[in-house]
Every structure is written in structure tokens, then in C-alpha cells.
Amino acid sequence: MHKPHIPLEELEHKAEACRACPLYEGRTNLVFGVGDPHARVMIIGEAPGKNEDLQGEPFVGAAGKYLNELLGYAGLTRDKVYIANVLKCRPPGNRNPRPEEIEVCTPFLREQTRTIDPVFIVTLGNFSTRFILKTDQGITGLHGRVQQAGHFKVFPVFHPAAALYDRSKQDLMKEDFTKLGQLLQAASAHADSDVDTSTQD
């Protein structure tokens, strides 16, 4: 029997009360996630940075502005996707998430993903890619190629913050998000033809 999906508001309340790792002590705000709860595309980053912690929303600083621009190459806008991070509280000094923090925090992400049930998961950078794909492979070898994780199509790309000041990565990001747009169109066309076939007499 399938477990019922937990509503996002209920999950967010649970995360607000979470004391499972020491990161809650330093946070200004929990950064749970934002966007369309029925999105076909879920974007997963690493952890909140300074601006995200202050505003309680993922990807609001320079990397967020760049992400919005990249979404445009895929024919998407920020309000059409759902954006979340692997960790919900800011690591001090923007250090990398620690394995024990990822372990105790990711049940929230897992439930978010089950509830939103997107068609595509776009993982940004090494941490979310490794977590979603259960791999040790790095983003450099994985970006821009569709992978499968359960019934989700996973599309890894570099983290926008890493590409922000690296011209060579910016070209790859543009290519990858353009490809994502093509994949989304193809998936829509496929879904439409399934509907046509299923509604034929």
C-alpha cells in the first residue's frame, strides 16, 4: 500500500520545528522551498546561502537571478517550477553540507519530492546530484544527460553559483537548459499522444 503524500504545509511546519542537526541554531529562517506545488519540474540545489537564510526563500541572490535566466532557456519561469535544497538550514559560512546533516535532513526533501511528484528533477551541482542519483560520480561527468531515479527523470546541471563567474560553465549551462526545454517539449508531446490514443474509440 502506498503511503499517503504529506501536504507541503504540514512538512514545512515539521521542518520549522526540526532540531535534528545543529544547523537550526544559526539559521535566521528555514528555507523550505518555493514554487508551484504541482510543477512538472523540480529544481534541487544544495543549501541556503546568506540571502536565502535572510529571506527564507531558495535562490534569491545573484545565483538566483542567474537561475531565473537559465530557466528561460528551457521555456520555464520561476513560478512554473518548484525549487528546494538538500538542506533546509544554512551551513555557517556557506560551507559544504556534511554527510550527517544530509542524512537527517533529506527525509524532508524525499517527502517534498513524493508530494510534488514532478516529471523532471533538475539537480544543481554535486550534492543534490549525488543524493538523488545515489552516485559518487561528479557533476562534470553527469551534467546535461538524462538519468532515471525511480519513475523520475533526473537532469543534472552545474550549480548556478559555480557557473556564475566561470564563462566556460556558462556556455554549458545555456546548452543544458536549452536541452532541458527540448526534453520537456518532447515529454509533453508524448503525454498528449498518450491521451489521444487512450481517448480513441
The contact set with ligand SF4 (CB under 6 A) reads 15, 18-21, 23-24, 87-89, 101, 104-105
Specify the amino acid at residue 30: L
CB of 96 to ligand SF4, least distance (A): 13
35: region left, alpha or beta (phi > 0 left; psi from -120 to 50 alpha): left
CB of 102 to ligand SF4, least distance (A): 9
CB of 28 to ligand SF4, least distance (A): 12
CB of 186 to ligand SF4, least distance (A): 36
Q: Which of 128/142 has CB closer to ligand SF4?
A: 128
Find out whether 60 and 48 touch, Cβ atoms under 8 Å.
no
Find out whether 18 and 97 touch, Cβ atoms under 8 Å.
no
CB of 183 to ligand SF4, least distance (A): 31
Largest Cα span, the chain? 61
Q: Which of 42/184 has CB closer to ligand SF4?
A: 42
Q: Which of 48/156 has CB closer to ligand SF4?
A: 48
Q: Which of 48/125 has CB closer to ligand SF4?
A: 48
Assigned C-alpha cell, 192: 498528449
Q: Which of 12/117 has CB closer to ligand SF4?
A: 12
CA distance 6 to 148: 24
CB of 135 to ligand SF4, least distance (A): 22
Q: Which of 14/78 has CB closer to ligand SF4?
A: 14
